[in-house]
Amino acid sequence: MIVKKYTGKDETEAVMKAKDDLGSNAVVLNVRTMKQRGLAKVFKKDFVEITAALEEKDFAQNVNNNKPTFSRVSSEAIKKQQSQINLLADDSVNPHAPKQSEIIEKKLDSLHDMLRNQMVREEETDKKEDIKPAVKPENNANFKSLKLIYNKLLENEVSEKNANAIINDIENSMKKESNLDSILASVYQKIILKFGEPEAIEDDERRKIVFFIGPTGVGKTTTIAKLASDFKLTRSKSVAMITADTYRIAAVEQLNTYASILDVPVNVIYSPSEIVESIEELSDYQMIFVDTAGRSHKNTEQRDEIIEMISNVRNSGIDADIIIFLVMSVTTKYRDMVNICDAYKSLNDYRLLFTKLDETDSLGNILNIKLYTGAPISYTTCGQNVPDDIESVDVQKLAKSLLGGE
Quote the CA–CA distance of 203 and 237 in Å, as a whole number: 9
CA–CA separation, 235 and 228 (whole Å): 10
d(CA 86, CA 79): 10
pTM above 0.75, yes or no: no
Give pLDDT tens digits along the chain (406 positions): 567 888 888 888 888 888 888 887 777 767 778 776 655 555 677 888 887 777 655 555 564 554 433 334 444 443 444 433 333 333 334 445 454 444 444 555 556 555 656 555 555 444 444 445 555 554 466 778 888 899 999 999 999 999 999 998 888 777 666 777 888 888 999 999 999 999 999 999 999 999 999 998 898 989 999 999 999 999 999 999 998 876 665 667 788 888 888 899 999 998 899 999 999 999 999 999 999 887 666 777 778 889 999 999 999 999 999 999 999 999 999 999 999 999 998 888 999 999 999 999 899 999 999 999 999 999 999 988 887 889 999 999 999 999 987 6
How many Å is the maximal CA-CA distance in the chain?
A: 76
What pLDDT was estimated at residue 119? 54
User: What is the predicted pLDDT for the residue at 56?
Assistant: 54
Predicted confidence at residue 29, as pLDDT, reads 67
Task: In whole angstroms, give the CA distance from residue 16 to residue 32.
Answer: 16
Which CATH number does 208-402 carry?
3.40.50.300
As annotated, the residues of the chain forming the CATH 3.40.50.300 domain(s) are 208-402
Q: Which pLDDT belongs to residue 92?
A: 37
